[in-house]
Amino acid sequence: MDMISYGRQHIDDADIQAVVECLRSGALTQGPKVAEFEQAISAYVGVRYAVAVSNGTAALHLAAIAADVGSSSAVVTSPITFVASANAALYVGARPVFSDVDPETINLSPSGLVHTLDQHPDAKVIIPVHFAGLPCDMVAISAAADNAGAVIIEDAAHALGSRYSDGKMVGSCAHSLMTTFSFHPVKSITTGEGGMVTTNDEQVYRRLLRLRSHGINKGSDEFLDQDAAFTDGRPNPWYYEMQELSFNYRITDIQCALGITQLAKLDKFVARRRQLVARYDEAFVDSKLIRPIQLGQRDRSAHHLYAVRIDFSAAGISRAEFMTRLRERGVISQVHYMPVPAHPYYRRLGFCSDHYPNAQAYYRQALSLPLFYDLTEKQQDTVIALLINLLQ
Ligand SMILES: Cc1ncc(COP(=O)(O)O)c(C=O)c1O
């Protein structure tokens, strides 16, 4: 049986050819494709600078370092996200703080955020997550951040190709210091593994370039040790200098070659996802048990996920049983996400998901249905019919 997964990549001949050409070129890493991909993303989202890295988690980690969070401060994020958004705070020794989501958008609730910031005056960074591709209310969130003296790192792992209400693209950093993306295969475009940080701030950009590669300055910035760097006023040809501790978070040219050809298809990918979302919405319009999230805000999202709430208790079936029955019939669904504070590691740190009632209520009913570029209408009709039948 061909399984219908909840998400998957679309790879065409142009992608394969680009990767093969890169392999033949000899420049596998630290070559020209990295800058080419960064420029393509910058031009697409309308931002000054982009730094490509090995994955979306590395992008968040480096963004947290570049934001100078500091070990005695707090980072506010959403409880309904992948663990990486909150882990970025822990990586830099800061304290994650969760602020509850809005029950309709499943994005950070702006009024809830104001309250959270009042209670945590040590919050220096806010990481809003554009859940399922729907951009958060960034006007309200940036006003709250300004008031609290905090900076914003947008976690846009779900939202390459999404637009804010003012029409600007997510990634333009119109409302934030930095934005991060992921290019994992289920995302808007893929590089296998991959990520990106965008910013309009030149100092942040230069630092991100160093942070991506061990904190080493290879000469694009001023050397700290001028005596060691120069002979007779000329830069020493061997010289490079590690200026702060960092990691190897580089991405390869092979991955970036794929990213470039994938990006050329992004608008087509988003348009197809939007059509499929409209078909699901239409199919569930009269359902009492299935309630899609983010309804009425479809035109701004890149539609990373199609997430619904299902009233499993009214239907008299557990979610586990429901997912098993779907899988037995060839359909793989998923839950995005168990609230981060409910994970054992976070519980050990003293967090409790009961403190985020909207997140908890959403989690109890959440299910993500298959949504990807190659999903056919016939396959989608199968998914819809299965859902309706299993809930009868
Ligand atoms: C919201 C969110 N943030 C961050 C990440 C991390 O991205 P990556 O898997 O590329 O490290 C993901 C990936 O699933 C994500 O969904």
pLDDT at 322: 98
Residues 124 and 226 in one domain: yes
The contacts found for 313-317 with CB under 8 angstroms, 24 or more apart, are 314/288, 314/289, 315/289, 315/391, 317/390, 317/391
Residues 283 and 302 in one domain: yes
Residues 224 and 91 in one domain: yes
Residues 275 and 363 in one domain: yes
CA 181 – ligand 1 centroid, Å = 8
The CB of 55 under 6 Å from ligand 1? The reply is: yes
Q: Which of 51-55, 220-224, 244-248 has the lowest mean pLDDT?
A: 220-224
Is 347 within the bounds of a domain? Answer: yes
CATH number at 314 reads 3.90.1150.10
Rounded CA-CA distance 350/339 in Å is 14
Please identify, among 242, 263, 284, the residue that sits at the C-terminal boundary of a domain.
Answer: 263
Q: Are 162 and 137 contacting, i.e. CB atoms less than 8 angstroms apart?
A: no
Rounded CA-CA distance 117/67 in Å is 18
Closest Cα to residue 182, out of 389, 41, 322, 310?
Answer: 41
Phi, psi of 155 (to 5 degrees): -90, 100
Residues 291 and 155 in one domain: no
Closest Cα to residue 350, out of 55, 95, 35, 142?
Answer: 95
Is 364 within the bounds of a domain? Answer: yes
CA 223 – ligand 1 centroid, Å = 34
Residues 123 and 157 in one domain: yes
Domain count along the chain? 2
The CB of 261 under 6 Å from ligand 1? The reply is: no
The CB of 164 under 6 Å from ligand 1? The reply is: no
What digits encode the pLDDT tens for the residues 136-183?
999 999 999 999 999 999 999 999 999 999 999 999 999 999 999 999
The CB of 38 under 6 Å from ligand 1? The reply is: no
pTM across the whole model: 0.98
Exposed/middle/buried for 166, CB within 10 Å: 0-12, 13-18, 19+? exposed
Q: Does pLDDT of 1 surpass 80?
A: no
For range 319-331, the mean pLDDT: 97
Residue having the nearest C-alpha atom to atom 5 of ligand 1:
56
Residues 258 and 273 in one domain: no
Stated as kind and residue range, the H or E segment containing 373 is: none
Domain that residue 111 falls in = 13-263
Residues 319 and 255 in one domain: no
Is 104 within the bounds of a domain? Answer: yes
Residues 233 and 273 in one domain: no
Structure tokens at 149: 């003296």
Residues 174 and 293 in one domain: no
What is the overall mean pLDDT for the chain? 97
CA 182 – ligand 1 centroid, Å = 6
Residues 244 and 95 in one domain: yes
Residues 250 and 290 in one domain: no
The CB of 157 under 6 Å from ligand 1? The reply is: yes
Which atom of ligand 1 is least distant from the CA of 129? Answer: 1
Is 4 within the bounds of a domain? Answer: no
Is 7 within the bounds of a domain? Answer: no
What digits encode the pLDDT tens for the residues 10-65?
999 999 999 999 999 999 999 999 999 999 999 999 999 999 999 999 999 999 99
The CB of 84 under 6 Å from ligand 1? The reply is: yes
Is 106 within the bounds of a domain? Answer: yes
The CB of 133 under 6 Å from ligand 1? The reply is: no
pLDDT at 72: 85
